[in-house]
Amino acid sequence: MNSRMPDAKILIIDDDRELGEMLREFLAPDHFELSACLNGEDGLQALQEGDHELLILDIMLPGASGIDVLKQLRQTSDLPVIMLTARGDDVDRILGLEFGADDYISKPFNPRELLARIKAILRRAGPPSSRRHVINVGAIELDVRSRRVTAGGASIRLTGTEFELLRCLAESPGEVVGKEQLSRHALGRRYMPYDRSIDTHVSNVRRKLASAGVESPSIQSQRGVGYCLLVDDEAV
C-alpha cells in the first residue's frame, strides 16, 4: 500500500460535482490531494479549517460568487488561486486578477493544462533557489526566502504571482523586461497576444506600492515591449 503523503493539498470550489470528481482522479497520480466544495460559503469554511496549498475557484457559484470569495480570502491569506472563467469572458478574467487571483483558465479546459498551471504556481511558491536572498531597489526590499516585500520596515502584501513579477523586475532594475519573460517567470507559461494578465498584475503591484507610500522605485511601461523598474530619475 502506498502511504506517501500528498505533494500538495488543493481545494476546488465549483458547483459542478462531476468536474470535482474528474479532477480528483486526474490529479491523484501526481500525488495531489483534491477536496471539493460546491459553494462559496462552504469553501471559505474549508479554507479556514484546512491547510491547503492552492485553491481552484470558479467565478460562477450559487450564493456568494467566486469574486466575493476571492475578495474575502485576500483579506487574510496569500494562498495561490487559479480562477475558472467562462471562455471569452474577459471581464471575469480581469476582475479575478485585479482582486488577487494568481492565474486563470477558461472552461472548458484540458485537465493537462490545468495540471501544468498548478505545478507552475506551486514551483514558484516553493523554496527559492536564487543566490540572491535579499534584493533592495529604491525604498523596497524583497526577501526571496520569506517571499516578503517591505518598505520602511512596513510589510507590503503581494500574491505569489505579484511577488514573482516584482522580483523579476527588481533583478534587472533600469532595464526593460519583456512580457514574454515576465509571463514565463511570474505565470509559468508563454505570453499570448491579447492576454492582459501581466498588465493587470503590474497594475495591482503599482497600486499596492502607491498605497504603501512608495514613490521610488516605480514600474514604467514601454508600449508593446514590457516593463521596467525605475529608481528616481532613471530613464528607459
d(CA 137, CA 20): 43
Identify which of 175, 179, 169, 172 has the alpha carbon closest to the alpha carbon of residue 223: 179
pLDDT at 194: 84
pLDDT at 133: 80
pLDDT confidence band for 223 (50 / 70 / 90): confident
pLDDT at 129: 45
The region of weakest confidence among 75-89, 114-128, 219-233 is 114-128
* Mean pLDDT, residues 7-22: 95
* Mean pLDDT, residues 215-221: 95
Predicted confidence (pLDDT) per residue in 123-147, tens digit: 877 654 444 588 999 999 999 888 8
Q: How far from 12 is each of 27, 82, 177, 197, 213, CA to CA, in Å?
A: 12, 9, 34, 22, 36
pLDDT confidence band for 235 (50 / 70 / 90): very low
Identify which of 174, 167, 169, 168 has the alpha carbon closest to the alpha carbon of residue 234: 174
CATH code, 8-125: 3.40.50.2300
pLDDT at 4: 55
Q: Is 180 helix (H, G, I), strand (E, B) or coil?
A: helix
Report the DSSP pairing between strands 103-107 and 154-156: unpaired
24 Cα distance to chain centroid: 22
* Mean pLDDT, residues 160-175: 94
**Whether 220 contacts 236, CB under 8 Å:** yes
pLDDT at 127: 52
pLDDT at 176: 96
d(CA 229, CA 88): 32
DSSP secondary structure letters along 44-86: HHHHHHS--SEEEEESS-SSS-HHHHHHHHTTT----EEEEEE
Grid cell listed for 176 = 526593460
184, β-bridge pairs: none
pLDDT at 93: 87
CATH code, 134-230: 1.10.10.10
Instruction: Give the range with max mean pLDDT: 128-137, 152-161, 198-207.
Output: 198-207
d(CA 128, CA 148): 12
pLDDT at residue 43 above 80?
yes
Give, as one character, the DSSP assignment of residue 108.
S
* Mean pLDDT, residues 36-56: 94
Structural domain spans, the chain: 8-125, 134-230
pLDDT confidence band for 155 (50 / 70 / 90): very high
